[in-house]
Structure 1
């Protein structure tokens, strides 16, 4: 099984990237590639830009990665209760090229934040909209209070209950 994992954030210090990298490493026997959205930075989507310049190569490259995967792990960062601008723009460009961006792939949707909300607002928005764009959401999980529940020295969840919930979510990829 080939897994593409990424954080829906372009922060170099992204806690969502730490979470999704950890989660991807727990899937036994899978070939995993963790993407960095900075490698797919595209201009902010606009119809005018599309008409003048066409689709950016970065969005085509992103779709190529998704299309080549058997499953996806995405950890959604939350900015003001919604998607990050970097993810939203890349997603918008991608959907102009291929409306079913996620190409009927199984998806595990994650989120985390420093606070007790665990980025639940963006996770709810994502799990609601992902199926419209060709994702089969197998499971979702919000990790609250990242710095209290994740050991950055080991790169692992430190909360036993959350570890178990993550394992259960990842197990849905085998079902």
Structure 2
């Protein structure tokens, strides 16, 4: 049994990526799972001045510890203009200042949900290339496009997308054992 941390890279209280996280974690059995709602984690915009004056918040230290305690992380990221949201990029900036290899020896299942037809692919590509710099091993990715059409009542309704999601999740879980 491996410990899994699951979170969306969005601070929106109505995050579709958080909905995808909740769906994904509902399919996982035999592992201890901690789900974080990042809407409850306000972080100020990173600046060297703030770091010098105030240091690192308890929330940031707890988040880093949660990441490092987990063997695997299920992460679903939103996309703004083809990139990860400013919020999530800011979280990465803070974490990397606290400890550069904050994802060291951590397996990641990287996902994105989007209302658009591209499914947050731009954000996935950026983070798939970026996260290994902090020690992560991105095991697999999954993109859920056209969220309103493909996700209803807490589940993926497209059978093709449902199979692709389950296959990606299985590959991630196999890596944890």
Pick the TM interval, shorter chain.
over 0.9
Structure 2: runs of 5 or more not aligned = none
* Aligned equivalent of 1:116: 117
* Aligned equivalent of 1:106: 107
The offset of 1:39, in angstroms, is 2.8
Query: Following superposition of structure 1 onto structure 2, how do residues 153-168 of structure 1 map, counting pairs within 5 Å?
Result: 153=153, 155-168=154-167
In the alignment, is the contact (CA less than 8 A) between 2:71 and 2:105 conserved in 1? no
* TM norm structure 2: 0.94
User: Matched residues in 2 for 1:74 and 1:38: separation?
Assistant: 14
The offset of 1:20, in angstroms, is 1.3
* Aligned equivalent of 1:128: 129
User: Matched residues in 1 for 2:93 and 2:59: separation?
Assistant: 12
* Aligned equivalent of 2:43: 42
Poorly superposed stretches of 4+, deviation over 4 Å: none
Q: Deviations over 1:77-102 (max 9, x none)?
A: 01122121221212111111111121
User: Matched residues in 2 for 1:89 and 1:83: separation?
Assistant: 10
* TM norm structure 1: 0.95
In the alignment, is the contact (CA less than 8 A) between 2:11 and 2:41 conserved in 1? no
The offset of 1:36, in angstroms, is 1.2
